[in-house]
């Protein structure tokens, strides 16, 4: 049996705790190094993990024990860190979006060579989205013709102690939350051919509500309410809304409309949740029986899926397509015109149901 796959984490912010919960004690991988602009954060995590060292970014990507770099930096640094790691011959898995701009993302993908380049969200590998996809492909609602996806919030300054980057280039509700919903729509309905978008920015400042900077006013540099229409290659049409300007919504996160029924898809920011279906012959919603995907998974399952199976289910070509769609929505909102999408990745196969006890043990 081979040695555990070595992982180096760059960026130990809020989201890193969820990755550590999945990867920190998994027998197939070992976190061998950490790096962060705040050296104390890297050291604190390294001290909790056997055989892990706090290093500089340059030393981490050069370390021969690191096989995959887990890039959890802020969006504006995603491309720089990924490029540095790829140049050092490392595989890379990064948080979404793939890069802050489409041009940067294209350069990163072009530079990967023989290395594996993966990108979040890996929530789509959980039982929620995968069960919905299996039901859809099994004919639960007939041919899919349309979908809606809705995510609204009053803004991340309500809970995040350092929310600045959510309101700078590479942030906003579209680039922050859009990847979960758009990646799910890609898995369910396939790639997008063209988009139309509209957006607004009702406020130019936000006030941090929690943490040591509570009461501090920060600038808003991106649009905070984005809507759009996606025309999928196979003919389905999706309508999407992402907002930091509405406190609550009663809409289902995602609904897919078919010729014979409707499929309700759970929150794609989570890994599980109930999938429901209602056909024209039924008076009530019914839970979908059967299941697919990784059961009770957490962030980092995309790396484990790659290490254990060699799959490309979270390949960067999917993240590049999603970023192109988001960039096109922004362009359409500025110009008032429909924008064509050039990338055409193929959705990977449905993930077979994998019980938690199975994926948490050594392959």
115: domain CATH number is: 3.40.50.720
pLDDT at position 309 is 95
State whether 163 and 184 are in the same domain.
Answer: yes
State whether 162 and 263 are in the same domain.
Answer: yes
State whether 93 and 145 are in the same domain.
Answer: no
State whether 161 and 258 are in the same domain.
Answer: yes
pLDDT, tens digit, 9 for 90 and up, residues 63-80: 999 999 999 998 889 999
State whether 77 and 137 are in the same domain.
Answer: no
State whether 208 and 279 are in the same domain.
Answer: yes
- Domain end: 119, 148, 180, which one? 119
Domain, as residue range, for 46: 5-119
Does residue 260 sit within a domain? Answer: yes
- Domain end: 99, 119, 139, which one? 119
State whether 197 and 262 are in the same domain.
Answer: yes
223: domain CATH number is: 3.30.360.10
Q: Are 253 and 267 in contact (CB under 8 A)?
A: yes
199 vs 202: CA distance, rounded Å? 10
* pTM score of the predicted model: 0.95
State whether 333 and 214 are in the same domain.
Answer: yes
Does residue 352 sit within a domain? Answer: no
Q: Can you list the alpha helix ranges (DSSP code H) found in the chain? A: 16-23, 39-48, 57-62, 78-87, 102-110, 127-137, 172-189, 301-309, 316-335, 356-359
Does residue 322 sit within a domain? Answer: yes
- The total domain count for the chain is 2
State whether 215 and 251 are in the same domain.
Answer: yes
Q: What angle do CA 262, 268, 273 make, to 5 degrees?
A: 70
pLDDT, tens digit, 9 for 90 and up, residues 100-154: 899 999 999 999 999 999 999 999 999 999 999 999 999 999 999 999 999 999 9
State whether 112 and 207 are in the same domain.
Answer: no
State whether 248 and 211 are in the same domain.
Answer: yes
Does residue 141 sit within a domain? Answer: yes
pLDDT at 290 over 90: no
Distances (CA, A) of 142 to 51, 72, 133: 53, 40, 12
pLDDT at 339 over 60: yes
pLDDT at 1 over 70: no
Does residue 345 sit within a domain? Answer: no
Does residue 363 sit within a domain? Answer: no
């Amino acid at each position: 049996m081979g040695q555990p796959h070595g992982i180096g984490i760059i960026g130990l912010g809020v989201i890193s705790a969820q990755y550590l919960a999945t990867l920190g004690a998994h027998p197939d991988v070992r976190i061998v190094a950490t790096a962060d602009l705040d050296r104390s954060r890297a050291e604190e995590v390294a001290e909790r993990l056997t055989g892990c060292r706090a290093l500089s970014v340059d030393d981490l990507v050069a370390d021969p024990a690191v096989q995959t770099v887990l890039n959890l930096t802020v969006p504006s640094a995603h491309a720089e860190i990924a490029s540095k790691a790829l140049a050092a011959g490392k595989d890379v898995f990064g948080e979404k979006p793939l890069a802050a701009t489409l041009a940067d993302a294209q350069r990163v993908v072009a530079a990967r060579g023989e290395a594996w380049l993966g990108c979040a969200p890996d929530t789509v590998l959980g039982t929620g989205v995968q069960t919905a996809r299996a039901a859809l492909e099994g004919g639960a609602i007939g041919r899919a013709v349309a979908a809606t996806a809705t995510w609204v919030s009053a803004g991340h300054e309500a809970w995040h102690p350092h929310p600045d980057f959510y309101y700078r280039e590479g942030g906003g509700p579209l680039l922050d939350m859009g990847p979960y919903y758009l990646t799910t729509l890609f898995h369910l309905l396939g790639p997008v051919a063209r988009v139309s978008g509209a957006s607004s920015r009702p406020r130019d400042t936000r006030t941090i509500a929690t943490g040591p900077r509570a009461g501090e006013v920060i600038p808003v540099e991106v649009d905070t309410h984005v809507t759009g229409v996606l025309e999928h290659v196979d003919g389905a049409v999706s309508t999407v809304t992402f907002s930091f300007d509405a406190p609550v919504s009663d809409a289902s996160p995602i609904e897919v409309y078919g010729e014979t029924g409707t499929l309700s898809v759970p929150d794609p920011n989570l890994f599980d949740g109930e999938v429901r279906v209602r056909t024209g012959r039924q008076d009530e919603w019914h839970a979908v029986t059967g299941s697919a995907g990784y059961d009770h998974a957490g962030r980092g399952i995309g790396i484990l899926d790659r290490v254990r199976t060699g799959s490309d289910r979270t390949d960067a070509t999917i993240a590049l397509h999603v970023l192109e769609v988001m960039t096109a929505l922004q362009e359409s909102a500025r110009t008032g015109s429909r924008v064509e999408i050039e990338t055409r990745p193929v959705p990977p196969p449905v993930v077979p149901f994998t019980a938690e006890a199975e994926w948490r043990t050594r392959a």
